[in-house]
Amino acid sequence: MIAYIEFNGVSSSSLGLRIINKVSHESTGWDIETVTVPGRDGDLLLSNNRLKSVVKSFPMRLQPNDNLTKAEDRISDWLNVLGYKDLKLSWDPKFIYFATVIETFEIEEVLRQFGNLKVNFLCKPIKIYTDSIELKSFSGGTLENKGNTIAKPIIELVGSGDGVLTINGRQTKLQGVQEGITLDMQRNMIYYSQTAKWNNVVRSEQYQLPYLDLGKNEISMTGSFQMKIAPYWGVKL
């Protein structure tokens, strides 16, 4: 099968693009600053507590099925979108990447002169198992993290009143919920029906927003709520 990528729901092969040569990409690492301190051997390491983004490069050749100008326009529309979009690789079907194209270049000029095109995607440093992004009903119990990093889930709660979500002893307290609430840790947002609901989350040293540990996660919920979870298990790039 011919290798292809799918970005923002559109396949490269449908645009007449064929991947050539080897695909290259970086590996992620911790974002660390080094500081020189007079009188101290070596450097002081300061962590920014985050993984660095990764660049994935895809060299491609255009083999248009129709008019070259139309093909160039479609490719330009495909790549020139704002924000992170889903990126899927035909040879890595278990995972979904989140990527954006931040480099600007004249696609028409590059294709007409060379017939080839190299697209550099800036990717978030964690790829997600595709079978972990769908919200599924969960009544409490244990979830096993099959990734190799802490997971940021989306948790949907339907119900009203107060309640406490507990994950491995960590608590997230909700109060005054009406109809429902979504704890979207992928985007660090709390909402219901497109309306922000941060006021329904109790913020104090005792409570914190949810995340899923490596290994086993014991999860329970008090109050009158039905729960759905999309765990977003991830693997570092």
Residue 186 pLDDT exceeds 80: yes
Residue 129: strand pairing partners: 95
Residue 174 pLDDT exceeds 90: yes
Closest residue by Cα to residue 117 from 55, 56, 58: 58
For the chain, domain boundaries:
5-124, 131-236
Question: Same CATH fold, 131-236 and 5-124?
Answer: no
pLDDT on residue 199: 96
Closest residue by Cα to residue 57 from 112, 109, 119: 119
Which two tokens mark 35?
Answer: 């500081």
What size, in residues, is the chain? 237
Over the stretch 195-217, which tens digit does the pLDDT of each residue have? 999 999 998 889 999 999 999 99
Please answer whether residues 109 and 181 qualify as being in contact, where contact means their C-beta atoms are separated by less than 8 angstroms. Answer: no
CA 143 to chain centre: 20
Q: Does domain 131-236 have CATH number 3.30.470.10?
A: no
Please answer whether residues 137 and 221 qualify as being in contact, where contact means their C-beta atoms are separated by less than 8 angstroms. Answer: no
Over the stretch 19-71, which tens digit does the pLDDT of each residue have? 887 666 667 666 566 677 676 656 665 656 667 888 898 888 887 666 667 77
pLDDT on residue 202: 95
d(CA 12, CA 106): 18
* Domain covering 5-124: architecture: Beta Barrel (2.40)
Q: Evaluate the CA torsion angle 86, 91, 95, 97 in order and state its sign.
A: negative
